[in-house]
Amino acid sequence: MAAFPRIYTSFAEFERDELRRLDSLRTTVEDMLDERFSEELEEASGGGGKSAGNAALRRRLQRRSYALD
């Protein structure tokens, strides 16, 4: 049986439990996104390098965030 998601009563509680846990991973959100979307980044860059793929991915994510608003 799946557990219910945690509900926080304040941002401070969320920060303490979740964000500080990420600090122990010794990685950045950008590194996590690069790892998650590495295949798409390679396709988007067309062999042009990692920065070209990052820029393409950022543009796509921005378009998606505007669509959700």
pLDDT tens for each residue of 7-27: 889 988 888 888 777 777 777
pTM of the entire predicted model: 0.30
* Tokens (6 digits) for 5: 């998601």
8, 41, 50, 57, 64 from 36: Cα distances, Å: 27, 10, 14, 11, 17
Percent of the chain, pLDDT > 70? 67
pLDDT attached to residue 1: 52
